Amino acid sequence: MSSPEAYSAIHDYLATQWAARTPLVFENEQFELPDTPAYYVQVEIFGDFFDQASIGGGQPVANLWREEGQILAHVMCPRWEGTLQGRTYGRLLCDLFRGQEFSGIRFRRISLGASEPGDEDGNYFRMTASIDWQRDEP
């Protein structure tokens, strides 16, 4: 689970930047599948809570603490339509975070690759973009 600070910053950035390309569905949010399968993105934002990243600040709480996590953006593609559009959306998601830093969050390694049949009524194929992030808190 990520901290509320990291989750909120990533959620708000992604919701604003992704705009109306496809629906975005975040963890535990209500979403009704359309009658005709259509592209959408399921987003998970998670991480380790904190790990001490420096020493010498006196009390341990006075040191630098690092939170690391990952965004999994599952591009849900209508089954039997191939993967090109899913890869295109996945690449756009990756590009939104490449080289970005905001709210103290730095985005690191990014991958587009994992794919498998989706599990939404058997009508979807899933392509996943994964984005590693890191946030320091003094």
Which pLDDT tens digit goes with each residue over 16-73? 999 889 999 999 999 999 899 999 999 999 987 666 555 655 665 666 778 899 999 9
Close Cβ partners of 136 (under 8 Å, ≥ 6 residues apart): 53, 64, 65, 66, 67, 104
| Residue 53 confidence (pLDDT) | 58
- Output the pTM of the full model: 0.86
User: Tokens at residue 106, please?
Assistant: 């730095």
Picking from 85, 90, 78, the residue whose alpha carbon sits closest to that of residue 124 is 78
Identify the band that residue 78 occupies on the pLDDT scale cut at 50, 70 and 90. very high
Q: Domains plus CATH for the chain?
A: 4-137 (3.30.2000.20)
104: left (phi over 0), alpha (psi -120 to 50) or beta: left
Picking from 7, 91, 95, the residue whose alpha carbon sits closest to that of residue 47 is 7
pLDDT in tens, 109-122: 999 976 666 665 67
65-84: string of b/e by CB count within 10 Å (b at 16+)?
bebbbbbebbbbbbeeeeee
